[in-house]
Amino acid sequence: MSRTSASLFFTFLIAGSAVVAQAPTRQTGDIFRGQVDRLVDVLRDTSRLDQGHPAAHAVLGADALSTAKILVAMGHCHRRYHVGDGPVVRPSLDYLLQQRRADGSFGDVATTAWTADALERMDDKGYAAECAVARRWLAGHGGDAPGFAASVAAVLDQVQADRWPQHFGADAKKVADAQIAAGAGVDRKAAADALLQLVVCQEANRALDKQAAGGDAGVAWSPEQEKAFQWLLLQQKDGVFAVRGEESAALTGFGLLALQTKPRGMRTAAQQQTIEQGLRWLMARQDDSGNFSEDEVNYTTCVVIGALARSDDPNAAAVLQKAQRAILGFQNVEAAGYQRRDRDYGSVGYGGSQRGDLSNTHFALQALRDSGLPEDHEALQKAIVFLQRTQNLKASNDLTTKIPDPEKPDTVVEAVSGDDGGAAYYPGNSAAGYLVQPDGKVVPRSYGSMTYALLKAYTLAGVKGDDPRVQAAVKWIQEHWDLAVNPGADPAMGEKAKYQGLFYCYMLLAQALDSAGIDTVVTAAADADGQKGAEQKIDWRAALRTRLASMQQADGAWVNGENGRWMESVPLLCTCYAMVALERCR
């Protein structure tokens, strides 16, 4: 199966959505049994009477290609025909073997590929030698033609909440019924194609049945996600999202990214059309430089790339490459006059001449990778220089920089690295406050959202899990694990400071831990006196799902009711953050 989304569609039924209740119900089990059985009977009976122009006496098809397709279909259908079925399949198998050429092929690429499929399905061990030679021939002549497995995957890729395998076999069913009625006048080539499509749909439906019985449906697409999805649909018009009545490329990018967290196979045709309308609107907004907005150009371009990277639109590829070049142009490197010793070297900011920061940099790295840039590209390796300078880790961060005194804006103080492994917003700057050392130098406090951003960015840039920089970041996360707040804020900043950027933190937490391959967070519970006790292994995906479910509003949206800083008073943005986070919680 080529799409994870297709294999997870069944969970929508369990979610209890009213939308699904109104959509066509998927038939379960072996669909099209009657048509398959009757069509096989007609093909066999007429071939024994030499009616309908069989390729040879008792051969099911009109030629090698149609015969091979019929045998493949029979081998995969609910009857599971096999070489042991003797006279039902033997004349057709003998005929195919007679078509074998000296080079091991059975004709052209398509005929050879389907014949190899047929022989393997009927008796994989008995025909192993013939199939091996045929596969080698195919490899030297352009590879395999699309076979049975690819056909099944193609059906699963098209499954939607109102389009099931039974629908994709409807036309073939009509052809099969007509060929059954034709009897002695059966068109064997048309019958072969119809039979094959019916069995492909049978197999696709069996795969969905198997997935539905797998027991993990509850985490693939939850009622909370569906409720939020429906809320988001109410916020858009023709796939475009607005803020204060003004269409926004950034929020449209984020909104479409959030909508696409719903597996493709679970969307209705109307929902998919809405998404595609919005994606086309975004592509039409790209300017000559590759950007989509004049404001906060890096941030906007990055979130638009995130939405477009999931599109099947063939026009998206050129748009993504143009946007990738724009982001590469934002990076503070030699081409922009930066040298490695400069504080911002390797970073990306909001665009233009604005200083770099870890938030924009992780967005940029994600967008670069989403648009196809390899992890060993020099842009990502240069970004690592900046990432190290945001991390409070003396072994890899020896930068000293000047910043305005947090208490006295007219006074400049020296900022240096701490050593707890967490990260700040940019070198010397932290939204979580500062630690003042006895010598007057300050250390920018590490805090949750930026430490998750650091871990995510390291992973995107190819830094492995056993690297000391990554291990230090993970250690900080374990020691400060707390889903109630964005951890790390200086208590002197007041109670509200703990909640700033909370939903942004949730998104980064999920992206970072999932990307780094971390399934459990090992932390130590504290007793009533604040003393740490035995270690606990926390399934962070389950914990985050539970936390977000408890915070969802009745209408399906999320909003930061404790601290609206950084636009978290806007339900649209918080809901997008939550949806992107929940996608990583499957």
Provide the 3-class DSSP secondary structure of residue 85.
helix
Provide the 3-class DSSP secondary structure of residue 525.
strand
Provide the 3-class DSSP secondary structure of residue 126.
coil
DSSP lists the bridge partners of residue 415 as 401, 442
Phi, then psi, of 237 in degrees rounded to 5: -135, 115
- With a CB cutoff of 8 Å and minimum separation 6, the contacts of 233 are 259, 271, 274
CB atoms within 10 A of CB 187: 17
Phi, then psi, of 412 in degrees rounded to 5: -100, 135
pLDDT of residue 147: 84
Distance between CA atoms of residues 519 and 516, nearest Å: 9
CB atoms within 10 A of CB 391: 31
Q: Is 434:491 a contact under the CB 8 Å cutoff?
A: no
Report strand pairing: 532-539 vs 520-526.
Answer: antiparallel
Task: Show pLDDT as tens, one digit a residue, over the chain (586 residues).
Answer: 333 344 443 333 334 334 434 557 889 889 999 999 999 999 999 999 999 999 999 999 999 999 999 999 999 999 999 999 999 999 999 999 999 999 999 999 999 999 999 999 999 889 999 998 998 898 888 765 678 888 888 888 888 777 889 999 999 999 999 999 999 999 999 999 999 999 999 999 998 888 776 544 445 788 899 999 999 999 999 999 998 889 999 999 999 999 999 988 788 888 999 999 999 999 999 999 999 987 889 999 999 999 999 988 889 999 999 999 999 999 999 999 999 999 999 999 987 667 899 999 999 999 999 999 998 899 999 999 999 999 999 999 988 888 887 777 778 888 999 999 999 999 999 999 999 999 889 999 999 999 999 999 999 999 999 999 999 999 999 999 999 999 999 999 999 999 999 999 999 999 999 999 999 999 865 555 556 667 889 999 999 999 999 999 999 999 999 999 999 999 999 999 999 999 999 8
pLDDT of residue 218: 42
Residue entry with tokens 């047929």:
118
pLDDT of residue 405: 75
- Residue among 356, 355, 375 nearest 365 (CA): 375
Provide the 3-class DSSP secondary structure of residue 526.
strand
| Every domain of the chain and the residues it spans | 4-217, 481-586
Residue 550 token pair: 């408890």
Give 8's DSSP letter.
Answer: T
Q: Exposed/middle/buried for 249, CB within 10 Å: 0-12, 13-18, 19+?
A: buried
pLDDT of residue 528: 52
Query: In 352-438, which ranges are continuous DSSP H helix?
Result: 358-370, 378-390
Beta strands in 384-541 (DSSP E): 401-404, 412-415, 434-436, 442-444, 520-526, 532-539
- With a CB cutoff of 8 Å and minimum separation 6, the contacts of 338 are 332, 344, 345
Residue entry with tokens 């090698």:
64
Residue entry with tokens 């050429």:
101
